A and B are shown apart, each in its own frame.
Chain A
Amino acid sequence: MLAPALVLREGSFDFGMDNLFLWAAIPAFALAIKTRSFFGTVALGMGLVAAGRYFLGG
């Protein structure tokens, strides 16, 4: 369920800069591997996507 959510958007591949889901996943993965913190990862991921949408108008 994760992989399609990150790279597919409305049925087609999207590796563009505006695919926030994909780019937010990178620091989220880093934090998850480093801290093993489940809720910390969720909070960071959601925070990044929310911030990205707010500042970039995505």
Chain B
Amino acid sequence: MDGNAAQSVQGREAVFQAARKIAPLAMGYIPVGMAFGVLAQKAGLSLVNTVLMSVLVYAGSAQLIAVGMFAAGMPPLSIVLTTFVVNLRHLLMSAAMTPHLRKWGPFRMAAFCYELTDETFALHSMRFGRGDRDMRQTFLINAMAQTVWVLSSWAGALAGSGVPDVEPLALDYALPAMFIGLLAMQAENGLKWLTAGFTGLVAIALVQAGLDQWSVIMATVIGATFGAGVETWTRK
């Protein structure tokens, strides 16, 4: 606790406050976490691996992509590279957060950034912007958000064997819908939409050419090269 000890709340009240803050976020985590659990179970991941993934990876998008690629029988290198690229944005998020946390020291900062997600990033950005930097609250929020995510994916994995078919629940649409969300969040200008569209066309062409397994990573590299090329070219 730092200088503003009078401000910080303790005990039960602190837990209630954190719970109130993560309530809207939990509304999203529970259905998507359960969808992840069911899909992981369908992709053949064990219960332990599914829950461990939620504990260790703790990134909805990367986890859904990974199980989608597992299910499609993609090569491991392709899965690793794809999830790395998809999660690169967390590098920027963590970097944006650390100026607020300088007093915390590297160990606590790392613990904080490990639990950072798109949603908790938005929440903490708002809190820190208001000057609300209470460390206890911050870690409580993160820990509770991750607990919700881990429990929902565990529940999903358990329920998975009882779900005979993913289609009536549209669970097979979780991944495409998630990509739409991610794309819209990151593509803030025309060039990025152009690059995304071009990459999509390349991916379609590669799948049509019979290169299913490598289409994702190849389209990413070709698309990124195209985007960088257009950017350099238009700047001149």
> Measuring CB to CB, which residues of chain A are less than 8 angstroms from any residue of chain B?
1-8, 11, 21, 24-25, 28-29, 32-33, 36-50, 53-54
Contact = CB atoms under 8 A, between A and B. Distances in A.
B7 to A, nearest CB: 30
Contacts, number: 115
Contacts of A7: 204
A46 B203 contact: no
Interface residues of B, number: 40
A12 to B, nearest CB: 9
A2 B176 CA distance: 6
B116 interface: no
A36 B176 contact: no
B168 A38 contact: no
B174 A50 contact: no
Contact of A21 (B35, B119, B173): B173
B85 to A, nearest CB: 11
Interface of B: 27-29, 31-32, 35, 60-61, 65, 68, 82, 118-119, 167-171, 173-185, 199-201, 203-204, 207-208, 215-216
B63 to A, nearest CB: 13
A9 to B, nearest CB: 12
Contact of B179 (A1, A37, A39): A1
B180 A29 contact: yes
For the complex of A and B, the 10 pairs showing the least CB-CB separation, nearest first, are A39-B28, A45-B177, A3-B200, A32-B184, A41-B181, A49-B170, A50-B170, A2-B179, A38-B181, A49-B173
B185 A39 contact: no
Chain A binding site: helix, strand, loop or mixed by DSSP?
helix
Nearest to A6: B176
Contact of A2 (B29, B82, B119, B180): B180
A46 B185 contact: no
A28 B177 contact: yes
A45 B183 CA distance: 14
Contact of A5 (B168, B176, B182, B208): B176
A5 B179 CA distance: 11
A53 B168 contact: yes
Contacts of A11: 207-208
20 contacts: A3-B199, A6-B176, A8-B208, A11-B207, A25-B176, A29-B184, A38-B28, A38-B119, A38-B181, A39-B32, A41-B180, A41-B181, A43-B28, A45-B170, A45-B176, A45-B177, A46-B170, A46-B177, A50-B169, A53-B168
